[in-house]
Amino acid sequence: MNIIIDTSVLRKDRGFLNSDILLIKKLSKLNLLKIHFPWIVYKESTSQNILEVENGIENAIKEISSLNRKGIDSDEYEKLKEIAKELEAIKLDTEKSIEKHWERFIIDSEAILHEINEEHGKKVMTSYFLGSKPFPIPKSRKDIPDAFIYEAILTINKKFGKTYFICDDKNLRESIAKNDDCQVFKSYEDFFDSDVYKPIDTEYKKIEHFADELIVLKENIDKIEKYAKEELYRDLFAGDEQVIVHENIPSDGNEGALQDIDGDLIETIELDKAQFVDGIFYIPVEMKACFRIEYFLFKSDYYLYEELRDISIIDHDWNKHYYLVEESFNVKLSFKCTIEQESIKYGEFEFDYEPAIIDELEIIEK
């Protein structure tokens, strides 16, 4: 089975750390599937990674450099200046580091990186002017990278046979779906839930022996529920306040601060979808709750939403432009609890977790 993963999916886990990509990697190493990376996907991913890492290091250096103005002793400040110099040196090697990170993943997973094909340029530019697949309209510049990915997939199809494309970009996904030799999926979850994956999963379970531990987990699902709920509370209320960013929060930057959770969290433990990679179980957990979120709302915007949404003003006089307001939202979150196989064998049940993702943040209408 030939798998191609789009940048729109890879950008959500730039470090290749989450269980979905770890399982894909393991399956590739076991020759149960083969990962293919078009050069444009590789380049889109690495260039964005380089930019974000460099910005992160630069911000860290600026923060360190300003600490003397915040009252730190000069002896410790001199040590921090040395750390800042080390960060400057690391920043110079960011590009090499990102490329090494990707090369290591490609080698470890035995993936294939497909160099850009010279013939694709002419095909892409012809489609660009005509507005043919995958361009939604003629001369849509933002879709040029996707057009190179599109051509690369067609070439991979011809050489390796049918491909399975995981892509969160609707236009590109639907364009590829029109090709009979490629089946598309919006997410890793859709792929793992599909009928085409079932034979691979069956074969994988023959190779990796973990059925006994899975039975033990089912018998102790109450422990998973208890841990998941406690850990989610700790994660959500880490620090003084937790910033929530979502398009349905009508503040500048679409962000607000979580103040409280109304009612009990409702959890679903999906043991039948648990993943097992290199001695570790990854157990999907879905939770639903009502979040009370505080944010700043432009005063004129408040009157636009007043009749539609249940928004309460906390501070009328925050400043002449903004109200401090509070609003409740229905939220669905997902994350994965992790536990080592050996921990289950010895009855220790020592869990860890992957950070939670907000899947839905729904407005509660008046």
**DSSP per-residue codes, 243-307:** EEE-TTS-SGGGEEEEEEEEEEEEEEE-GGG-EEETTEEEEEEEEEEEEEEEEEEEHHHHHHHTT
Q: Would you call 359 helix, strand, or coil by DSSP? A: strand
Residue by residue, pLDDT tens for the chain (366 residues) are: 999 999 999 998 989 999 999 999 999 988 899 999 999 999 999 998 899 899 999 999 998 888 888 888 888 888 998 999 999 999 999 999 999 999 999 999 999 999 988 788 778 777 777 777 888 788 878 878 888 899 899 999 999 999 999 999 999 999 999 888 899 999 999 999 999 999 999 999 888 878 778 888 888 888 888 888 888 777 776 655 588 889 999 998 899 999 888 766 767 888 888 889 888 999 998 888 899 999 999 999 998 888 889 999 999 888 889 999 999 999 998 888 899 988 888 888 888 888 788 888 999 887
Closest CA to 124 of 136, 134, 115: 134
* 354 DSSP assignment: P
Residue 155 neighbours by CB under 8 Å, 6+ apart = 114, 117, 120
Backbone angles phi, psi at 168, to 5 degrees: -100, 5
